[in-house]
Structure 1
Amino acid sequence: MKESERIINEVAQGFIQLDEGVSWFSALEPAQQKSVLREVVSYSMQAHATVEDGREGVVRSGVKPTANPAVMIVREPLPDRMAKIINLPHSENVKAFRVLVAAFAVADTRRRETQCKGRCGHEWHNLIL
């Protein structure tokens, strides 16, 4: 498992705090940050994230609801909005990470509790810390 995959899923599953994930993310080069944002969007789509997950993610993220990533994640069509979040200026990357990871956490928790409960073989759902 890649470091980014492990950290994203540790944050989503509550093994590490969002602020710890943000510290790790902030230390990355801008190009690496964009790559991680793309990764989180991909995981969110696999978890079938919804606009409602985005709303809950904004609340959990600590980002002001008026910040660009927060405004974008609560509108349809969500895949298009998430793609636009990735393309925000570098100065928005940390806010984007906070919002995207928090929304992913909501969607992924639902997926683990419904589709994967008791029969999951996904490596990222079976983290051993």
Structure 2
Amino acid sequence: MEKEADAAGISGSDTTLTVQTMQSWTGTGPTSFSSREGDDQVRTSERIINEAAQGILGYEESVDWFSSLEPFEQRAVLQEVVRYSMQAHATAEDGREGVSQSGVKPTITPAVLIVRAPILEQMGKILNLPPSEYVNSFRVLLSTFTVADTRRRETECRGSCSHPWHNMS
């Protein structure tokens, strides 16, 4: 179990994971959504993030799922959304549009950070916010990823995309 925690980038006191928590994190426990046939290879977090970005899963449903996670699980999901955002080539302009779609006040810390360049540095700052900021951070990061990923699907991947995460429906 500790080896799995190390592989996930979790250290210190967070390595005392319970089997139930690890199961929920990997999508086999109570916080997972029902899996579609043939979708077993996609982690729950990956599926939820991408389905929310594509409008297949409701935004509030994804926020509810995120809110049900333990803080160390939330941090891992935030890191995952940042990775996906970088793969989608998110920009500070995407951050501005994302904030307007996120439902958060534009004055909260994650919203203030995401609209500044360089965006990778700002996302790093968001990842280092305290756990009390995680839900708002998720809202802002997910909305920013949605904007960047939508643009990418409409330009680079239009008509000939073989990315499994762009073919969730």
- Shorter-chain TM-score above 0.5: yes
Matched with 2:112 is 71
Q: Distance in 1 between matches of 2:60 and 2:133?
A: 16
In the other structure, the counterpart of 2:163 is: 122
Q: 2:81 aligns with which of 40, 45, 51?
A: 40
Q: Distance in 2 between matches of 1:84 and 1:122?
A: 29
SS of 2:104 mapped into structure 1: coil
1:14-34 Cα deviation digits (max 9, x unpaired):
111211100000000100000
> Distance in 2 between the 1:124 and 1:43 partners?
10
Question: How many aligned positions are there?
Answer: 128
Quote the RMSD (CA, aligned, Å).
Answer: 0.5
With the length of structure 1 as denominator, give the TM-score of the two structures. 0.98
> Which 5+ residue runs of structure 2 have no aligned equivalent?
1-41
Greater fraction helix: 1
Q: Which has the higher contact order (CA 8 A, sep 6+)?
A: 1
TM-score, structure 2 normalization: 0.75
Note if 1:89 corresponds to 2:130: yes
Q: Which letter maps to 2:66?
A: F
Measure, in 2, the Cα distance between the counterparts of 1:107 and 1:77. 15
Q: Based on CA coordinates, which of the two structures has the bigger radius of gyration? A: 2
Structure 2 counterpart of 1:21, from 62, 66, 71: 62
| Equivalent residue letter for 1:104 | F
> Structure 1: which 4+ aligned runs deviate by more than 4 Å?
none
Which runs of no fewer than 5 residues in structure 1 stay unpaired?
none
Superposed counterparts of 1:55-66, under 5 Å: 55-66=96-107
Deviation at 1:5, TM superposition (A): 0.3
